[in-house]
Amino acid sequence: MLGLMQDWPLLLHRIIDHAAIQHGTREVVSRAVEDGALRRRSYVEIRSRALKVAKRLQREGIALGDRIATLAWNTDRHLELWYGISGIGAITHTVNPRLFPEQIAWIVGHAEDRLLFLDLTFVPMIEAIQDKLPSIERYVVLTDAAHMPQTGLRNAVAYEDWLAESDDDFAWGRFDENTAAGLCYTSGTTGGPKGVLYSHRSNVLHALACAAPDYMGLSARDTVMPVVPLFHANSWSLAYSAPMTGAKLVMPGARLDGPSLHQLLEEEGVTMTAAVPTVWLGLLQHLEATNGKLSTLKRVVIGGSACPRAMTETFERKFGVTVAHAWGMTEMSPLGSFCSLKPVYEGLSGDALYDLKVKQGHPPFTVEFRLTDDAGTDLPWDGRTFGRLKVRGPAVAGGYYRRGDDILDDRGFFDTGDVATIDPAGYMQVTDRSKDVIKSGGEWISSIDLENLAVGHPDVAEAAVIGVAHPKWDERPLLVIVPKPGRTPGKDEILAFMTGKIAKWWLPDDVVLVEAIPHTATGKIQKTKLREMFRDYRLPG
């Protein structure tokens, strides 16, 4: 027997409708890409402009299921495009501008994007690869006529001119809540990029679950600055959860340096913000240099695979700002867990608190965790045993765009590719990537733990650990080091430094000095390439 409640599909434009109706005067403040000036709009205006976008797209011939690429910073224009595109059932393909140009050409071709909306910043890059983007019918530059550059981009038009050909007398599309709304490709350290195809339903549920007090904790009284980009999997839900709750939005545009962010934090009264550690490093260095204050900020969400403990301590002890470490991935919309305090840990303070806060934390309702060995057998949640971390939920990928492979296990869980422990209180801690963990005699050794330990040596600038074949143990760890300028630490010296700080059988079998370690476009160590470099390497006797 079915219930008798109303049929009210979870559609993304209902969020901007709610913001306009219930929080209409709240602002979306954006730093203009053109000149860095601040532009103020209300949610009423954002909704009106999103409706214009939707109507204008239809006139452009865009229909349900079409892919529209954006290559853009966090601004009001990106936000209104976002709602306008999904509002007719088309799909926003947010392209990460940090990818290599060839990768961008590949994913735009794979997605068969029909239009590309791009910020001024990216015009030269796209001009250079335009001939590799045959699917793009038209380029819309996110600016007005006054700032429109001379460009050879096909059918190029200034966004404000394009939008002026429309009005907001438009009704949002009506379609299934499982309709695709967004497309985001993983940067993919192995294999080609893979497209995650979000739905209206998945994004709405993700935003609802993440807005709760122990996660993003958003209120109508908050002022939220998403430094994490819209092109990075929905800016960790903030492009949806902030309008959903009526929080004011502060969009930093192209300027993510410490002084620019600090100005916005203080002048706009930001109470909550979110970004990766490198961004906060810049801010904290600026505050240090200028003896700056954070007078309104209450909470910082720090994402990425790991959050440096010293950064958490500085925010909390020096500035009185609470830090929550968040973990997730493109395939999870992206949020999977937050390191907020459950009662069992509520009394912690000092070192014990910061030991906990380096963990990736616990999942909200709608995210399920599973920890297994390679054979798929469940492992204990004891805080010590590490295994493959698998996840399940309505905002977790069930497949990739235009790939037929089945990516779920026998119980419907997606393998994150992370190796982790989970403690009895449900707190997860990532210890490695599963393809990087070293499998020695049936036991696993965390390459990340060894790297973190090695970089503590005063002569080491960067360290990477890979597994190399071993006749008896299957694999053993090889430590690859970039020494600091002018230093040449010896193998025995490094190993002596590490001894006693880890289990004896974790100690690398060899240490090799190199000039540089290869990185991906987004700055991660490229271990596939490193393994290739050491393909013919043999461990000493």
Residues from 437 through 496 that contact a copy of itself (CB under 8 A): none
Q: Among residue numbers 230 through 249, which ones bind a copy of itself (CB under 8 A)?
A: 244-246, 248
Tokens of 356: 């906990």
**Residue 444 a catalytic site member:** yes
Distant-in-sequence, close-in-space partners of 130: CB < 8 Å, separation ≥ 6: 136, 152, 153, 154
Which of 249, 397, 437, 448 touches a copy of itself (CB under 8 A)?
A: 397
From 132, 298, 439, 491, active-site residue:
439
Separation CA 388–CA 467 (nearest Å): 17
Which of 25, 190, 452, 522 touches a copy of itself (CB under 8 A)?
A: 25
Which of 392, 470, 484, 531 touches a copy of itself (CB under 8 A)?
A: 392
From 268, 444, 475, 520, active-site residue:
444
Which of 8, 405, 442, 485 touches a copy of itself (CB under 8 A)?
A: 8
CB-wise, 143 or 271, nearer to a copy of itself?
A: 271
Separation CA 306–CA 425 (nearest Å): 20
CB-wise, 111 or 453, nearer to a copy of itself?
A: 111
| Shortest separation between residue 220's beta carbon and a copy of itself, angstroms | 5
| Shortest separation between residue 424's beta carbon and a copy of itself, angstroms | 9
Q: What SS3 class is residue 398?
A: coil
Distant-in-sequence, close-in-space partners of 265: CB < 8 Å, separation ≥ 6: 225, 273, 294, 296, 297
Site string for a copy of itself, 278-317 (x = CB under 8 A): ----------------------------------------
From 186, 271, 330, 366, active-site residue:
186
Is residue 220 within the footprint of a copy of itself (CB under 8 A)?
yes
CB-wise, 75 or 340, nearer to a copy of itself?
A: 340
- Amino acid 181 reads A
Three-point CA angle 10, 12, 13, nearest 5°: 115
Q: Among residue numbers 405 through 434, which ones bind a copy of itself (CB under 8 A)?
A: 408, 412, 414, 426
Nearest alpha carbon to residue 440 among 375, 388, 507, 495: 507
Q: Among residue numbers 136 through 195, which ones bind a copy of itself (CB under 8 A)?
A: 176, 178-181
CB-wise, 109 or 426, nearer to a copy of itself?
A: 426
List the beta bridge partners of residue 118.
71, 141
List the beta bridge partners of residue 324.
301
CB-wise, 6 or 150, nearer to a copy of itself?
A: 6
CB-wise, 400 or 537, nearer to a copy of itself?
A: 400
Full 3-state SS string of 402-446? CCCCCCECCCCCEEEEEEEEECCCCCEEEEEECCCCEEECCEEEC
Region at 265 (left for phi over 0; alpha for psi -120 to 50; beta for the rest): alpha
| Shortest separation between residue 329's beta carbon and a copy of itself, angstroms | 14
CB-wise, 78 or 248, nearer to a copy of itself?
A: 248
Three-point CA angle 413, 414, 419, nearest 5°: 110
Separation CA 192–CA 104 (nearest Å): 12
Is residue 219 within the footprint of a copy of itself (CB under 8 A)?
yes
| Residue pointed to by tokens 């959050």 | 307
CB-wise, 18 or 484, nearer to a copy of itself?
A: 18
Peptide bond into 213 cis (omega under 30): no
Helix (H) or strand (E) holding 241: helix 238-245
Which of 85, 256, 371, 395 touches a copy of itself (CB under 8 A)?
A: 395
Separation CA 285–CA 259 (nearest Å): 10
| Shortest separation between residue 211's beta carbon and a copy of itself, angstroms | 5
**Residue 186 a catalytic site member:** yes
Separation CA 49–CA 80 (nearest Å): 6
Separation CA 420–CA 429 (nearest Å): 5
| Shortest separation between residue 165's beta carbon and a copy of itself, angstroms | 27
CB-wise, 242 or 287, nearer to a copy of itself?
A: 242
Contact 16, 83 (CB under 8 A): yes
CB-wise, 91 or 448, nearer to a copy of itself?
A: 91
**Residue 316 a catalytic site member:** no
229 CB-side CA count, 13 A: 19
Query: Edge to edge, what strands does the sheet with 299-302 contain?
Result: 38-42, 27-31, 248-251, 223-226, 272-275, 299-302, 322-328, 335-338
Q: Among residue numbers 324 through 383, which ones bind a copy of itself (CB under 8 A)?
A: 333, 340-344, 346, 362-363, 365-366, 368-369
| Shortest separation between residue 391's beta carbon and a copy of itself, angstroms | 9
**Residue 473 a catalytic site member:** no
Q: Among residue numbers 49 through 78, which ones bind a copy of itself (CB under 8 A)?
A: 64-65
Three-point CA angle 28, 30, 36, nearest 5°: 160
| Shortest separation between residue 214's beta carbon and a copy of itself, angstroms | 5
| Shortest separation between residue 88's beta carbon and a copy of itself, angstroms | 12
Separation CA 162–CA 81 (nearest Å): 12
What backbone torsions phi and psi does residue 165 show, to the nearest 5 degrees? Answer: -80, 10
Is residue 404 within the footprint of a copy of itself (CB under 8 A)?
no
| Shortest separation between residue 4's beta carbon and a copy of itself, angstroms | 4
From 27, 331, 451, 475, active-site residue:
331
**Among the residue ranges 19-27, 145-153, 500-508, 524-532, the one whose residues contact a copy of itself (CB under 8 A):** 19-27
| Shortest separation between residue 526's beta carbon and a copy of itself, angstroms | 27
Q: Catalytic amino acids?
A: 186, 331, 439, 444
